[in-house]
């Protein structure tokens, strides 16, 4: 977060370079395992829901990228749309999350 440019109404973050999630050829060329990538994206969303109670609500291909570090780290862009999820059933949701690991 770039705090000097952030206000109550504007969140300013740095741009992180990555491969768009829709660019399958570039993902393959970078040697990123697409099955692992799919698991990581699912785990990211579950962590957002369970741990943080807020998740990125605009997950189109322009807002998700991956880099070549550690087998492909997930990069989320544009948090302009998000959803607070504190009303989820913790026991049920946590069991589902754990079953994926």
List active site positions: 58
Phi and psi at 97, nearest 5°, equal -60, -45
Distance (Å) of CA 4 to CA 1, 48, 78, 90: 9, 26, 18, 36
Residue 92, SS3 per DSSP: helix
Neighbours of 65 (CB within 10 A): 21
């Amino acid at each position: 977060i770039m705090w000097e440019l952030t206000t109550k109404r504007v969140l300013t973050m740095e741009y992180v370079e990555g491969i768009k999630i829709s660019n399958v050829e570039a993902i393959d060329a970078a040697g990123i395992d697409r099955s692992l990538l799919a698991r990581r994206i699912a785990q990211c969303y579950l962590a957002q829901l369970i741990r943080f109670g807020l998740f990125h609500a605009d997950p189109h291909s322009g807002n998700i990228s991956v880099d070549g570090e550690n087998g492909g780290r997930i990069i989320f862009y544009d948090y302009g749309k998000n959803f607070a999820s504190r009303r989820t059933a913790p026991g049920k949701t946590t069991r589902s999350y754990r079953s994926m690991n």
